[in-house]
Amino acid sequence: FEHEWQIRVMVLNDMEKLDRTLFRLEQGFELQFRLGPTLQGKHVHVHTNYPAEGERFERHKFRVLDWINPTGREDDSDKFCTLDLKISGSYQYYFGHGSGKSGGGYIVVDPVLRVGEDNHVLPLDCISIQTYLSKCLGPLDEWLDRLRVAKEAGYNMIHFTPLQTLGESRSCYSLADQLELNPDFSPPGQTYTWTDVGNLVEKMKNEWNMLCITDVVYNHTAANSKWIKKHPECGYSLVNSLHLKPAWVLDRALWHVTCAIADGKYKDRGLPALIQNHEHLHAIRGVLWQDVFPKIKLWEFFQVKLEPMVEQFRTLLQSGAKSDRSKTEGKQQLKIIQDPQFRRFGNTVDMNSALETFVPHGSSPGAIEDCCNWLRRRLEELNGEQYHEIKHHQEQATNCIADTVSYERLADHGPKLGPVTRKHPLLTRYFTFPFEEATLEQDLELMNQPEKSCHFLAHNGWVMGDDPLRNFAEPGSNVYIRRELICWGDSIKLRYGNGPEDCPYLWAHMQKYTEITAKHCVGVRLDNCHSTPLHVAEFMLDAARTLRPDLYVVAELFTGSEELDNVFVTRLGISSLIREAMSAGDSHEEGRLVYRYGGEPVGAFLQPSLRPLVPSIAHAMFLDVTHDNECPLQIRSVYDSLPSSAVVSMACCATGSTRGYDELVPHQISVVSEERFYCKWNPQSKPSSPAEVTLQSGIIAGKLALNRLHQELASKGFNQVFVDQVDEDIVAVTRHCPSTHQSVVAVCRTAFKNPKHHRYTDEVPPMCIPGKIEEVVLEVRTIERQADSYKKDERSINGMPGYTVEIKEHIQLKDSKVVRQAGVTSRGRNEYVQEIVFEQLTPGSVIAFRVSLDPKSQELVGVLRHHLIQFNPLYKAGSLPDPNTPDILKSPLTQIMSKMTLADMNILMFRCDAEEKEDGGGCYNIPNKTCLLSVMADIRPKNDLGHPFCDNLRQGDWMIDYVSNRLISCGDLSLMWAYTTALDVTFKQMSSFVQNGSSFVKLLALGSVQMCAVGHFPALPPLSPALSDVPYRVNEITKQKEQCCVSMAAGLPHFSAGIFRCWGRDSFIALRGLMLVTGRHMEARNIILTFAGTMRHGLIPNLLGEGVGARFNCRDAVWWWLQCIQDYCTMVPNGTDILQCPVTRMYPTDDSKPLTAGTVDQLLNEVIHEAMERHMQGIEFRERNAGPQIDNNMRDEGFNIVAKVNPDTGFVYGGNRFNCGTWMDKMGESERARNKGIPATPRDGSAVEIVGLCKSTLRWLVALHKLGLFPYNSVAIHKDGKQLSMSYDEWDRKIQQNFEKMFYVSNDPNEKHPELVHKRGIYKDSYGASSPWCDYQLRPNFPIAMVVAPELFTVEHAWEALNISEEKLLGPLGMKTLDPDDMVYCGVYDNSLENDNYNLARGFNYHQGPEWLWPIGYFLRAKIYFAKKLGKDTYDETVYLVKNVLSRHYVHMERSSWKGLPELTNENGQYCPFSCETQAWSLAAVLEVLHDL
């Protein structure tokens, strides 16, 4: 079965049990299992019973699937295991990590049906099936004459009721012998066999292109089956199901009531044999309560005999027995234990519980007697409870009996059985009784004679509203004693047990039956499926599929729940579920069923061949009538048969009917009592002939046209459905083909009420049909004709001869009798609409139009599809070459896009509203949504056409115009675009790490495109004109050349445009991950050199402000800048060349005015050395323009900037308690709470990460100098009028020698400030803070130093400190910024909060608990580094942790409409509304972890 290669992806999530979810797949599909975020990093094993290539399917044999890791790297987040689905059926999968199961479910693979001599495929949606009662077909040699009616009416599948020998009742579903062909099929002197049936079925398949299915009945066998008499263990008897004894006693008593009523014995009590009114029903109730229940005393089967129990208890007490508490587990409740033999008063109680409950006060006889009396009273209470429970059962039984009698003898819609006789008893017997009639007392004696009671077998039936997964004949069910079973008195319920070992004969017998059926028919209908034990049906269908792998399985379920339906569909591999149009009470509901049971909505999205596996509803077999339904002609009207059939035929699923419906047989053809034969086909027959039919009989001609149309629509891809309720009687069903953009619209005027007796309006609303009507496919109506009135024939099942159909097919609109006129109108600028005015759409009429787009639109769509073929080959159908194709469109989009830079890709894919507004535009507004592509990603797999976005598309072309106009304004981007193509081109411009990386890596790498852009106004100061490879553009206003370097936004949407876009600290924390790891080396170089040009006072600005508005108020940005230069030199080929690049100095001296580019140039080497030398010399200045004009919250002292180096330790230190020079830079803003102008986290002194970054830089500079790549080996300083110097090597050694002893909080009793130590085994957050207790706070900063300068740490101390951080600081997405044990910890950030709380007001706790994301990257990288030092086991455990943590970032990105990672979360990963939705350093830090892996 060939089609485009399709892949479906099932994402596994921990503890996700999908046993009741249906996943349907086709043969030839590939199914991939991938790990969801909750399983990332875990050692997951996936098991399935889908057989390996060449092996046989065994339901209980599971195999483990091998993982495929496409990247071959430690980051295996993209790994998957796969199944190539080549065999139909139901298959189970489950998965787990460790020993248990963590989830699982089923997949159902559809069969492929083939028909005709050429064995062509019959798609399931093409099926048109007709049901035949096999016993009404007559002798086998006459079958073809009767079955030909189905062929001539356009059906392509026959459903036979069971073909086996029938039981005494002659019900089609009560089989006397499951292995024997019904002897009625063999005329006198002839014996037909299963082979003859097989030959006939094969002939129909090859010559008529018709397939055959038949029923399998597993629940019951006929009461007169000979084999059940030999093997009574196959049913529920009083030998193997002793719990049924009380119900059997009641059943026998009711039989004797039947006999007494029939014999007139209750006549004097107002209960005659002919029950005619409710007084008679009341008399029945009186007989039950006065005669039956008191006589049979059912409660005795559930009670204990008091005195023996009390005597046994007395004996135990006298012997000094004590209770064994280990057996009662301290539970003192005394309960009756049911006698497994179900003898009267056979129940007992647990004596151990009795001994624990009733303890004598002493050992004297009096004390013991008191205790026995307590027990006696308790037993009397328990017996009383049992009595009342049985009384409740008897009340329910009485109600059920009254309801049954009322239906069978009084109700107008019931069978009205007439007088009570032994042939037509008061109630159907629940059990067989194959013995002579005797008294009730004599009958009850047989109960204890196993050789006879084994033949008292329970009948089958159904229970209203029962749980279909429960077997109502098993222990625990009270259905039989409560008389809740609607009983089939001709059928014995079969007892399979739990497996073949419980009843070997029955399992073997039914397996042979199944194999006979599967050998001769392509499919089976599971009769009474909802009450067939699932494990039995599984076993039998497995046997059938062994013989016929592509077995078509049909079932009818009455569970009342789609979820319960799915249990049967998934476990049994049901191909189609029967759905009944007769369940609809009106045309509106009938139309709703068409929409519900198949097809996609019109306008559905074209799906890619690789896509997520989404739940399905069961494939439907939608029947206008089933053989169990009441006759539609009796409850609707003869005129409704045709339009309701048309509504059903337009459904995008299997459809069908039952023989007799098309011939207008005016009564139900009973599966039990009907013994006449179907009519034969004879095209020359007269309407009055009762034994033959022609095309003019009933609605057969109309059904032929409808079946042809149904099959054409399914085979030609009309798989989209729209249903329009035009008015209360008219339903219009549209089937649309998305590849040709052609539709067929069927307008059906139903006639649920007979037009002869019901006034239908003559006013039919006009219809507007979009597009051009090519033809009227058919117009057909039911009409009366001259014929004899209907008379029920004695030998043939005949229909009403006085009706036929008037039909025209494939005519032009002008020749229609139904349509009066069709005007062309227009709604909107491009919509072509034809308005239809009906003239003779009478009740019972159907008209179907074939509709195309208007010629111009059709041509444009064809051209558009031609251009879209490069994205999906499915667009080939319906495509047209364009002779006027513009040159640009002659090249594949991939080739066009390959000329675009990553900055262009930013414009194309990732701009937020502020960036768009800078260009004079703005983002397209979708209600409640932020990101267009994220919205589409959600809508497409679910075909959520009700989404506001889809509604916006339906209302107008604004969205398409917006995209087009926006791209035109961007220059060469004025062409249609495809997101996936853009992604492919994007990744090709990135590093091999990204190109060969996992989906997670690629998703993070897109953060580089998201954050790095060229704005409308330059965000960066210009580079030196002497620098090569600098991008330029022409300014639209000045028409002058200007540099257009990529800048990096700190975060979106808050820091995306204007002076707040670029920040030194943020840029250089993120630069390694977003630019170097992704391979954007040239752009990284330009950012490094741009910031170098803005150096002043030896510092890099925090807020860049395009250079001229820079603020030099942070101590750490310069060290992150230096770290990035080091990373550039290390990671980029020939990276050290950057050291010789010219830097144009905007501020060559501290007091310079901003200079233009090229005025003063220096090599980057020199600028680096200047930064180091200025720190050693000591930086101390006051910010320019200090005051509220640059910072409204800062106190005056805070504008004083200090950054120096301690000559003894080598540590960089600085700051004061009124400013915050590191990344934890929250300044108090609340006057009310008195924290305004106070930094929450000043971190003055030596911040641990700055010391680490400084050490990293020194180590690198020393190495560079040795290689001759850096000309300086020392810094010179002026102190007290003297020039001093310190070598880089010495500085490096000082930090190395002092770090551990100054920063590590050990268990040393001589600790300088023991009163400040809150946790030992950690590294201080700072050294020498003005508030000494701040040094000792546990924060997530020391792992940064571990990553950049791991040589500072001893492995054991580092590992201990990291473990403490993991325990205390690690959150779902980020790291807590403060130890939760700290007294000022608060994990919820609310910048709008204004109250009196010093620690919280106006977000004062920004870095006092909320969980920031970027530090988690350094924490995980530090863990990886030191784990490697501790051996393989520790490393493997760490990798597991890392993957597990990162999986949470993966899921956040997948679900985020911004496709990014936030700046921070509140405690425990809760969403923080004040955070940027996506932050550069958050993305970078996680990407760096994956790079380290």
Distance of CA 1408 to the CA centre of its chain: 39
Of all helices (H) and strands (E), which one includes residue 463? strand 459-463
Structure tokens belonging to residue 1372: 């779902």
**Residue 793 designated active-site:** no
Task: Give just the sign of the alpha carbon dihedral 978, 981, 985, 987.
Answer: positive
Token pair 């027959």 in the structure block, residue: 685
Distance separating alpha carbons of residues 803 and 999, to the nearest angstrom: 66
For residue 1460, give the DSSP letter.
S
- The vertex-16 CA angle with 14 and 19, nearest 5°, equals 145
Cα–Cα distances in Å, from 561 out to 558, 565, 716?
8, 6, 33
Give yes or no: 530 in active site.
Answer: yes
List % helix, strand, coil for the chain (3-state, nearest 5): 40, 20, 45
Residue 1320 CB: number of other CB atoms within 10 A? 15
Q: What is the DSSP string of 534-582?
A: HHHHHHHHHHHHHH-TT-EEEE----S-HHHHHHHHHHHT-SEEEEEGG
DSSP assignment letter at 278: H
- Residue 774: partners with Cβ closer than 8 Å, 6 or more residues away: 742, 849, 850, 851, 852
Evaluate whether 489 touches 459 at the Cβ level (below 8 Å): yes
729 is catalytic: no
**148-183 as b/e, with b when 16 or more CB fall inside 10 Å?**
bbbbbbbbbbbbbbbbbbbbebbbbbbbbbbeebbe
Number of H helices, E strands in the chain: 41, 61
Checking 328-337 for CB contacts under 8 A at 24+ apart, the result is 328/352, 328/353, 328/356, 332/356, 332/357, 333/357, 334/378, 334/382, 335/382, 336/302, 336/303, 336/304, 336/382, 336/386
* Residues forming a β-bridge with 1202: 1180
User: Omega before 1053 cis (within 30°)?
Assistant: yes
Of 220, 393, 509, 530, which one is the catalytic site residue?
530
Site of tokens 């170098």: 1092
The helix (H) or strand (E) run that includes residue 1043 is strand 1041-1043
Alpha helices in 1274-1354 (DSSP H): 1288-1303, 1332-1335, 1342-1348
Polymer length of the chain? 1493
Q: Find the catalytic residue in 110, 177, 527, 1292.
A: 527
Task: State how far the Cα of 835 lies from the Cα of 773, in Å rounded to an integer.
Answer: 10
3-class SS of residue 1305: strand
Q: How far apart are CA 803 and CA 794, in angstroms?
A: 21
Q: How many of the other CB atoms lie within 10 Å of CB of 686?
A: 11
929-961 b/e with 16+ CB inside 10 Å = b?
bbbbebbbeebbeebebebebbeeeeeeeeeee
CA 1345 – CA 257 distance, rounded (Å): 94
Half-sphere CA count of 1226, side-chain side, radius 13 A: 22
Instruction: Spell out the SS3 assignment of 296-365.
Output: HCHHHHHCECHHHHHHHHHHHHHCCCCCCHHHHCCCCCCCEECCCCCCCCEEEECHHHHHHHCCCCCCCH
Judged by DSSP in three states, 620 sits in: strand
Catalytic option among 14, 339, 370, 628: 628
Angle of helix 1064-1071 relative to helix 1480-1492, nearest 10 degrees?
A: 20
d(Cα 767, Cα 732) in Å, to the nearest integer? 9
Do the beta carbons of residue 641 and residue 664 sit within 8 Å?
A: yes
| Catalytic residue ranges | 527, 530, 628
